[in-house]
Amino acid sequence: MAVTETTVKDACAAAKHAAVDLARADTTTKDRALERIAELLEERTDEIGEANAADLADERAQGLSTALRDRLTLTAERIAGIADGVRAVLALSDPVGELIEERTLDSGLELRKLRVPLGVVAVVYEARPNVTIDCAALCIKSGNAIVLRGSSYAQRSNAALAGIVAEGLEAAGLPADGVQLIAGGREDLAELATQEGVVDLVIPRGGEGLKDALKAVATVPVMYAAAGNCHVYVHSDADLEMARQVAYNAKVDRPGVCNSAETLLVNADVAAKLLPKLLGELHGAGVELVGDERARSVAGATPVGEASDSDWDTEYLDLKMVVGVVDSLDEAVEHVNRHGTGHSEAIITSSGDSADAFTGGVDAAAVYVNASTRFTDGFVFGMGAEIGNSTQKLHARGPIGMRELTTTKYVLTGNGQVR
């Protein structure tokens, strides 16, 4: 599939037409499309790899950070993992038609509240071509058509993957127009976000710049899969070896993803015991460290720069971390709520009361006790995949899976009642 030469309006209209058939499709048909998509991913690994290699070699990708290039890269192992993700979605229960409520009204009408597809979901994302398949699989299983607007950095990779989705849909007797891939500048983004009556939901996956650009123009409902300025807080009673392992993993495992930790907060009672070794290990892994005065004073031989005001609010998506020392759990909670983005936060503590105070006080979609923030992921949560992580409170929060791509419909059956 080449990136469409049609207008954004025409692509969205085609998706809207296809959405009717997708909404009516039974589970067997949708699963057949997903199985074919998984098979094609495996059969065409080399072809996908060649498209991805061309994207990586393109001058548009040359200036990307190491972390962003990692997000852009599709290895054979990662393509196999994407196929596994499609089959994981296939194995999940179909949410469409789920009976949420059933009762008889005083009028004698039989009321049923059912789960139904949203219709047309548009996803705007940056340099992660695996998102093309993850989002398409979730939309197909939940009976939605999808419009994809990926990054120019991944144009060839996205086209190869979207073409596989279209072919899988056709193989199952579903309309290939159920997946649309568009490209363009900010003017096309504005057009996509104003397709009222055609696009039912826009989900942006990207930084604050993308979020602000959509906020300025969108007339279609938007569910923000927002930035992840995530924190790890080490309380005074923490197991320090556990704290060291969790904090290291949360930062170093995959620094270019939204659930990696950007800020480390340490209680003053344990800062001098924990930080010299932990900061040394982070520095040894290539992490650039900045911190407040108290963190720098106990860093030992590890170089730690002076943190600016903006550092505390920055999602680095790279091997950089800001470190602070706080005097209490309440101060940590206040700091997280002031600077965090509501994505994922963690506390390391041996106290149930402290854990409850942190999880109850922090305003975030996911809060961890004695575990890394890196687990916030729809696949890990048993959703098969995710379109993103919502930091909003309406209509969904946390990983956006199939159920978050549905709405409800009331069906009422009578025997001639009039009012």
Does residue 197 share a domain with residue 242? no
Q: Judge whether 34 lies within some domain.
A: yes
pLDDT over threshold 60, residue 3: no
381, part of any domain: no
Asked whether residue 419 is domain-assigned, the answer is no
Whether 161 and 240 map to the same domain: the answer is: no
Residue 310 in this model has a pLDDT that exceeds 80: yes
Query: Domain for residue 289, yes or no?
Result: yes
Looking at 161-165, 179-183, 249-253, which range is the least confident one?
A: 179-183
Residues 6+ apart with CB under 8 A from 55: 61, 72, 129, 153, 154, 155, 156, 157
CA dist., res. 140 & res. 94, Å (int): 10
Summarised one tens digit per residue, pLDDT across range 66-98 is 878 888 999 999 999 999 999 999 999 999 999
Is there a single domain that holds both residue 257 and residue 399? Answer: no
In this structure, are 183 and 256 located in the same domain? no
Kindly report which listed range (34-43, 218-227, 396-405) carries the lowest average pLDDT score.
Answer: 218-227
Whether 4 shows a pLDDT value over 70: the answer reads: no
Angle, CA 346 vertex, CA 245 and CA 359 arms, to 5°: 145
pLDDT class of 384 with cuts at 50, 70, 90: confident
380 lies in some domain: no
Per cent of the chain over pLDDT 90 is 80
Q: What is the pLDDT of residues 321-330, one digit of tens each?
A: 999 999 999 9
Q: Cβ distance 222 to 201 under 8 Å?
A: yes
The count of structural domains within the chain is: 2
> Residue 81 contacts by C-beta under 8 Å, 6 or more apart in sequence?
none
Neighbours of 80 (CB within 10 A): 14
SS3 state at 81: helix
Asked if pLDDT for residue 187 goes beyond 80, the answer is no
Q: Are residues 368 and 393 in the same domain?
A: no
Instruction: Give the pLDDT score at 392.
Output: 83
Residue 237 has pLDDT above 60, yes or no: yes
Q: Is 86 within the bounds of a domain?
A: yes
pLDDT of 62 over the 80 cut: yes
Distance CA 193, CA 191 (A): 5
| Euclidean distance between CA atoms 185 and 182, whole angstroms | 10
Report d(CA 139, CA 156) in Å as an integer.
Answer: 22
pLDDT at 5: 60
pLDDT value for 388: 81
Please state, as a whole number, how many other Cβ atoms lie within 10 Å of the Cβ of residue 322: 28
pLDDT-based confidence at residue 1 (cuts at 50, 70, 90): low
Most distant pair of Cα atoms in the chain: their distance: 83
Which band of pLDDT confidence, cut at 50, 70 and 90, is reported for residue 211?
confident
What pLDDT is recorded for position 396?
85
Q: Which of 309, 232, 324 is nearest to 271 (CA)?
A: 324
- Give me the mean pLDDT over the 155-172 stretch: 97
Structural domain includes residue 96: yes
Task: Identify whether the C-beta of residue 74 lies closer than 8 Å to the C-beta of residue 158.
Answer: no
Range with lowest mean pLDDT among 1-15, 116-130, 182-196, 231-245: 1-15
Are 221 and 240 members of one domain? no
Q: How confident is the model at residue 226 (pLDDT cuts 50, 70, 90)?
A: low
Domain CATH number, residue 157: 3.40.605.10
Query: Is a pLDDT exceeding 80 seen at residue 208?
Result: no
Angle at 124 between CA 121 and CA 129, to 5 degrees: 105
Please state the pTM of the whole predicted model: 0.83
Strand 398-399 with 389-390, pairing: antiparallel
Which three-class secondary structure state does DSSP give residue 183? coil
Query: Distances in Å between the alpha carbon of 9 and those of 15, 117, 264?
Result: 10, 21, 45
Residue 184 in this model has a pLDDT that exceeds 70: no
**Structural domain containing residue 101:** 8-225+387-413
390 in Cβ contact with 397 (< 8 Å): yes
332 and 292 both lie in a single domain? yes
State the average pLDDT over residues 401-407: 94
For residues 184 and 198, state if they share a domain: yes
Residue 116's pLDDT band (cuts 50, 70, 90)? very high
Q: Assess whether 345 and 238 both reside in one domain.
A: yes
Both 400 and 341 in a single domain? no
More confident residue, 251 or 380: 251
Average pLDDT, the chain: 93
